Structure 1
């Protein structure tokens, strides 16, 4: 059977490493996987500081860092100005001559890339990673204005993404929201995927555990992650009152969360690690006894998938996509968002179980996450780029 020709793929990403968030992580993994499959990969993304557009050659892709401007309300997110940058995007795409363009949002770079691709008959794909409401903490306007903007943004998502031949999003729930609120028909749910084996213990490997039962949170310390609720619930636990909480990640809420832990008298039980290496993150997953995600704006939650792949029980907010990752009492529990008493009770319930029972829950979670294997996701996107996946209208 003849070998298929390598493709030239452009990933249009408003956020890309060193940014730390789910969309940036997915884009990096996508670029890495397509490069490993022999394709030529280019990434269009904002540059992280002031200056003109430049190109850097990275192991996974050629990354074109576009001139952009800081956002005062966010630590790293940056804006490109369409009137200034679109011509540059079109020039880059003309030089690259892509076989497929994959936009990661309907804002800024993705918008321009989809417009160019549709005009020239290039295979265009759009993936949505966030709800417009996720931006609420970063908009310095009255709430009534923000609400109007969110309605406009959903409408605009439909208008821009309709330029793509095929649209995906990580979960069925997100697809339903896009169909109902953006008027997009036949959005295809396709998991972001993870390397399931990355967080499994190797043969004869052991990880030193903490003396106290350990709860882990991983993610950006932003308002919508609700880490404050987790800290407050920690102080309300009664069955396992010595449990400790390890918080991995940085963000604009860190100082407030440290102050909250101090005010609650929990300084010795809440440990902030900030940004850590991949190896240290893997060890954190394997070291903990329970993973908790209290966020209410998760379209998939890669960190929860990673925790499940590490065979850890989970306690998750009953919001957006998180319920898809929990079989109640089998691999973990859900709690009512905002209800600290309910959260504390669920944390107590899991951590007071015998170790063998927690291990059983962890194995059930690991089995559940096998459906999100990264290899399946990347094969699906390669088929999409090659037009092997039909477009349903």
Structure 2
């Protein structure tokens, strides 16, 4: 990554409803974006929830190895969720004004239309500060955090998308990680010109092992929540030929973990399933390098950074044929797709990978490595820099 000349240096404010120490795709993207922009010489600030009900003074935090100025806002934890915190919605514009007064950014880049991003978009627009918005949200992401009956959930989603349309209408550009995700957003809230920009990944941070495997290991990385449908993976593994002695690594945590542990017991595979929980990047990358195949059954992925990490680790992928996952997984090339929720189909595709000969497996591994190159983080940063400056987008 190259640094811009000093007169090209921008003051950039990222508005994030979820950020470190949260562990999810939107947070990880924002962290990598912030660090990448700092490395290019920009002055980067992040407005995000604090881990307590108080405003923390602006301070420098090391994010992905780079110094980022954090503005942590008073937030409350959702009582029935393990980590989700939120700023009171009716205070979002108040805190937006306070942060904008302090930072005086050249551009605001919001990572959601929910609370912090909503307030920043409205206040920045009043001041003539350009706003870029990135959408990471699917309806399933919202519903996963409520305990409302289905009828009220439908009303909530309708209201959320109506508010999203109003918020995105205040911006200079709206982006989302893939073309499929852009099509979804355009059709859902009737807007045009959504720009697909990959979340990006630094492939050099991951290690591929192309040598023959001595054991069969299925790995999943992500939150253990209902939208991820991790139970489908466990049920599929339980259907595999016992002679394969397939082990499972689940890297991540979430509210579904107790239910998944009970399911593993019920299926008789608990001794072969490792729940790693929240762990270090080193453990995560080691689990990917040592796996035989990456499995993802999620029905709510606008891109899936975890899948890209697996591709960068040289893994064949077996993924649900849902939303944006087919953008990353090409049937028969770097892995296989299966109908969402179809346990038998997932089991069959896992068996195809686990029983493939060495040459076939290596062919899929090299395809994953080749295909993930299109998602290099440098291209992502180039494109966002162009949007921030109002320039033509790079080809």
1:4 Cα shift?
3.8
- Whole-angstrom CA distance in 1 between matches of 2:80 and 2:214: 39
1:293-372 map, 5 Å = 293-372=296-375
- Aligned partner of 1:124 among 131, 150, 157: 131
Distance 1:128 1:35, change over 3 A: same
- Whole-angstrom CA distance in 1 between matches of 2:383 and 2:242: 45
- What corresponds to 1:235 in structure 2? 238
1:131-280 map, 5 Å = 131-201=138-208, 211-238=214-241, 241-280=244-283
Residues 289 and 313, structure 1, Cα contact 8 Å, conserved in 2: yes
Q: RMSD of the TM alignment (CA)?
A: 1.8
SS at match of 1:268: helix
More displaced stretch, 54-63 vs 7-16: 54-63
- Whole-angstrom CA distance in 2 between matches of 1:89 and 1:41: 16
- What corresponds to 1:86 in structure 2? 93
- What corresponds to 1:288 in structure 2? 291
1:207 Cα shift?
10
- Alignment of 1:113 onto 2:120: yes
Q: Could you report, residue by residue, the CA deviation over 1:83-133 in whole angstroms, capped at 9, with x for unpaired residues?
A: 334223202202211001000011110011111221111121000001133
TM-score (norm 2): 0.94
Q: Could you report, residue by residue, the CA deviation over 1:301-353 in whole angstroms, capped at 9, with x for unpaired residues?
A: 00100111111100000111001111211110001111111110000011100
- Whole-angstrom CA distance in 1 between matches of 2:7 and 2:199: 24
Q: Could you report, residue by residue, the CA deviation over 1:234-291 in whole angstroms, capped at 9, with x for unpaired residues?
A: 0101285411111111111111111110111101211111122111211111100101
Distance 1:340 1:311, change over 3 A: same
Residues 103 and 110, structure 1, Cα contact 8 Å, conserved in 2: yes
TM-score (norm 1): 0.94
Q: Could you report, residue by residue, the CA deviation over 1:9-60 in whole angstroms, capped at 9, with x for unpaired residues?
A: 0000000001000010011111101111111111000112233443321133
Q: Which runs of 5+ in 2 are unaligned?
A: none
- Whole-angstrom CA distance in 2 between matches of 1:2 and 1:248: 41
- Whole-angstrom CA distance in 2 between matches of 1:2 and 1:274: 43
Q: Which runs of 5+ in 1 are unaligned?
A: none
- What corresponds to 2:377 in structure 1? 374
- Whole-angstrom CA distance in 1 between matches of 2:223 and 2:74: 25
